[in-house]
A and B are shown apart, each in its own frame.
Chain A
Amino acid sequence: MAQIQQQKDRVDYTPKKFVMWLIVFSSFMMFAALTSGFIVYVGGKGKGLDIAIPPIFLYSTITIALSSVSMFLASRAAKRLQFSTQRLFLWVTIALGIAFFALQVNGWSQLVGMGVYFVNPNASQSFMYVFTGMHLLHIVAGLLLLLNSLVGSYRNIPQVKRVFWMEMSAIFWHFVDIIWIYLYVFLLLNQK
């Protein structure tokens, strides 16, 4: 029975998937804390962001939203056993993720060009960098998860495992997407 039980445990990925949801919750709490910190700072010091958010952040938002779409398509393909489609869309998602990363870094240099520095007597402008920087760390983690799924899609592993890895990266990737949209909207609402 022990053997049977162990084999059953191996197939049951529900608790592990739940772990990913909890990671998402705790990450969300960190961003909630940072944005609350921003609100407390602005409320207490009366110093707002006082800049117009450069349009490059709109482009990066569109990029990452598109990457969520391709992630969804990749997951669907994996469930339907269409592995070449899965690989294609995973590659697309990773490319879009890297493009997002590049756009964000480019956004930083545009901010610097506007005179909005990280080391700044107006810390609400420094917060711009903290929001985007902490988010980029999550993007890196998400890309690693995507790479893991991609490697899995090339290897001959059981379908349950393949789908499990896809779901893990999908949950996280959609989360980093949603978190960015949250941050972007938050910044837009506070820009002037």
Chain B
Amino acid sequence: MSTLSVQDHHGVHHDEHGHEHHHDTFLTKYIFSQDHKMIAKQFLITGILMAVIAMILSILFRIQLAYPDKAFPLMETLLGRFAPEGRMDPNFYLSLVTIHGTIMVFFVLTAGLSGTFSNLLIPLQIGARDMASPFMNMLSYWLFFTASVIMLGSFFIEKGPAGPGWTIYPPLSALPKAMPGSDMGMTFWLVSMVLFVASSLMGGINYVSTVLNMRTKGMDLWKMPLTIWAFFLTAILGILAFPVLVAGVVLLIFDRSVGTSFYLSDIVLGGVPQPFEGGSPILFQHLFWFLGHPEVYIVIMPALGISSEIIATNSRKPIFGYHAMVYSLVGITVLSFIVWGHHMFVTGMNPFLGGVFMITTLIIAVPSAVKTFNYLATLWRGNIRFTPAMMFAIGLVSFFISGGLTGIYLGNAALDINLHDTYFVVAHFHLVMGSAAIFGMLAGVYHWFPKMFGRLMDEKLGYLHFWITFIGAYLVFFPMHFMGLDGVPRRYYAFTEFESFERWLSVNTFITWAAIMAAVAQVAFLFNFFYSIFFGKKAPQNPWNSNTLEWTTPVERIHGNWPGEIPTVYRWPYDYSKPGHDEDFIPQTVPYSETMSSNLPHDFENNPIGLEEHNKWTNTQRSNEEVK
């Protein structure tokens, strides 16, 4: 009892203490905050703004694709020299495609997704006061912010932003004079990405160290929610993959600025032979895709983790195959490092090597399918609550299936030679990693909004947002499969010069209008999000009746997360609808001794004393029954 009173004593004085020593000014609370919850919000809001910008860019180039011969005077007003006489400049089109891809893949779906939810949920769900290094965490956000500013800043330089595609293949990216988009804009891109990688590494290193070292009492690895497993493995992927991109980019910078020939050979520019000799552009592709492929799992795995948690919570059922879910994440993590060659089937790769990459690629379908089936099995006969978060999580499963299936086709070297760089590829990855990951992110926003802001988002707007976005995404990306099968190449400015592709113009127009519809639907989200921050309905402590630790923290979101001692964890996070319990959820902090009526023998696998107590209790119950 004496310990209890000591705790109370300190608990009461904590606030006072905080005011005396923390000096929470506006600057330290909202700007240079070291609190993981505030950093998460910073990442989220920056990520949302970047997503809106990248979405507007995509609408701009969709308009070009739908109306290649039409002049839009408004466009000249908006874009100035990038759209002379209302017609989009071809080089600017390439820049739009490049920056759209870069922002979406890195700034939204890597930093915006991992940055937000790893920061928010890792300390909260494993029971830690903050990250391993809060200072590095803050630095991670500010490097990301600087990288965003530089990336967007490239729109304001004379020759426009980078244009060689988000994969920045040399020689196009290595020769500043090759095209306007290879000049200053490319330099900005490289500088921005170096800062971005530094930010990602700092974040990832923090996440891994926090998960491994700072779990609360009782939280062993097999009691961690699947979100944490996903964030943890994602961070490992980042730590191993991003330095490889740095190596590739360093060599590219030397080729661009110093004149080395790592990637360049036999170049003739405007009729003038260039001095570069002996380089190999394929080398860059190897280095890039060694990062690039793990990167797509960096994008999708957090979304998968988030949807595991949301689907289990809102199906009111334990996640189906928890261990299988973890092992499939581990499998994806390991396999993702040995499949990068499937992006390079048409580089003249040795067919035997191509065969090896094909097999490893197809093996990834196994853990992915395990995850999909487990989602479906979790939903099966669940007591489903269709919250907006749940809708988006189910949407993720839908996109993951429909986009994943085409991955099996693209993974085959023989088929890929035909489909490479067509709209089939565009359709594939926009569904499986684009739409799926953004749906995972949106699901996370709807689900953990109360944890971030202490308020609830409006459900009706959420449903509106979901249905239009869901239908819009399919209307945009599904027709692209057929374009790709017909051989329509990606990244082209206009197809009017190709007689065989002209018949796709009507489809392109259709896609553009679907995209505009989906884009307008995001206004519902943006309004809902920003309005609810200030005027949303006040959230209760545990609005979704969820089991995980973050819902045991007070709604006020204090520094240090828990006012008193960090709670101890006794059980896994998925005890939903456990037979024999009076409620349909049992939080992780409830010991088995308080839930005798719902305990099962396998709850005590490594706990003989507990098992003995359990048997004693069931025997007593049975004898009581007999007496009756």
B206 at interface by CB-CB < 8 Å: yes
User: Which residue on B lies nearest to A38, using beta carbons?
Assistant: B283
CB atoms of B13 and A3 under 8 A apart? yes
Report how far A9 CA is from B208 CA in the complex, Å.
18
Which of A6, A25, A31 sits near B129, CB closer than 8 Å? A6
Encode A114-150 as 1/0 by CB contact (under 8 A) with B. Answer: 0000111111001100100010000000000000000
Encode B274-293 as 1/0 by CB contact (under 8 A) with A. Answer: 00011110110011001000
Report how far A141 CA is from B136 CA in the complex, Å.
16
User: Which residue on A lies nearest to B213, using beta carbons?
Assistant: A15
CB atoms of B563 and A34 under 8 A apart? no
CB atoms of A9 and B129 under 8 A apart? yes
A44 at interface by CB-CB < 8 Å: yes
CB atoms of B565 and A33 under 8 A apart? no
A4 at interface by CB-CB < 8 Å: yes
Q: Which residues of B contact A95 (CB under 8 A)?
A: none
Give the number of residues in A that approach B within 8 Å (Cβ atoms).
40
**Which of B78-86, B174-182, B238-246, B384-392 is the interface stretch?**
B238-246
Q: Kindly identify, within residues 322 to 342 of chain B, every residue whose CB is under 8 Å from any CB belonging to chain A.
A: none
Q: Which residues of B contact A23 (CB under 8 A)?
A: 201, 205
Encode A86-106 as 1/0 by CB contact (under 8 A) with B. Answer: 000000000000000000000
Q: Which residues of B contact A32 (CB under 8 A)?
A: 244
User: Which residue on A lies nearest to B284, using beta carbons?
Assistant: A37
Which of A9, A22, A30 sits near B246, CB closer than 8 Å? A30
User: Which residue on B lies nearest to A123, using beta carbons?
Assistant: B262
Report how far A4 CA is from B566 CA in the complex, Å.
12
**Which of B4-12, B46-54, B111-119, B529-537 is the interface stretch?**
B4-12
A27 at interface by CB-CB < 8 Å: yes
CB atoms of B136 and A123 under 8 A apart? no
Which of B10, B262, B278 sits near A1, CB closer than 8 Å? B10
Q: Kindly identify, within residues 1 to 43 of chain B, every residue whose CB is under 8 Å from any CB belonging to chain A.
A: 6-7, 10-11, 13-14, 17
B250 at interface by CB-CB < 8 Å: yes
What are 13 A-B contacts with C-beta separation under 8 Å?
A3-B10, A5-B566, A6-B129, A15-B210, A19-B133, A23-B205, A32-B244, A33-B290, A37-B283, A118-B260, A119-B258, A123-B260, A123-B279
Give the number of residues in B that approach A within 8 Å (Cβ atoms).
52
Shortest distance from the beta carbon of B226 to any chain A beta carbon, whole Å: 22
Shortest distance from the beta carbon of A91 to any chain B beta carbon, whole Å: 28
CB atoms of B560 and A45 under 8 A apart? no
Q: Which residues of A contact B7 (CB under 8 A)?
A: 1
User: Which residue on B lies nearest to A30, using beta carbons?
Assistant: B243
Q: Which residues of B contact A84 (CB under 8 A)?
A: none
Report how far A3 CA is from B136 CA in the complex, Å.
23
A41 at interface by CB-CB < 8 Å: yes
Shortest distance from the beta carbon of A124 to any chain B beta carbon, whole Å: 9
User: Which residue on A lies nearest to B276, using beta carbons?
Assistant: A121
Report how far A33 CA is from B290 CA in the complex, Å.
9
Which of B209, B244, B250, B279 sits near A18, CB closer than 8 Å? B209
CB atoms of B243 and A33 under 8 A apart? yes
Which of A4, A5, A40, A120 sits near B260, CB closer than 8 Å? A120
Q: Which residues of B contact A29 (CB under 8 A)?
A: 239-241, 243-244
Shortest distance from the beta carbon of B292 to any chain A beta carbon, whole Å: 13
A157 at interface by CB-CB < 8 Å: no
With known contacts A1-B565, A18-B209, A37–B10 Cβ distance under 8 A: no
A109 at interface by CB-CB < 8 Å: no
B259 at interface by CB-CB < 8 Å: yes
CB atoms of B261 and A41 under 8 A apart? no
CB atoms of A5 and B244 under 8 A apart? no
Shortest distance from the beta carbon of A141 to any chain B beta carbon, whole Å: 13
B222 at interface by CB-CB < 8 Å: no
With known contacts A1-B564, A22-B209, A33–B261 Cβ distance under 8 A: no
CB atoms of A34 and B262 under 8 A apart? no
Which of A14, A44, A130 sits near B282, CB closer than 8 Å? A44
B212 at interface by CB-CB < 8 Å: yes
Q: Which residues of A contact B279 (CB under 8 A)?
A: 123
Encode A177-188 as 1/0 by CB contact (under 8 A) with B. Answer: 000000000000
Report how far A30 CA is from B287 CA in the complex, Å.
10
B247 at interface by CB-CB < 8 Å: yes
Which of B240, B254, B287, B565 sits near A126, CB closer than 8 Å? B254
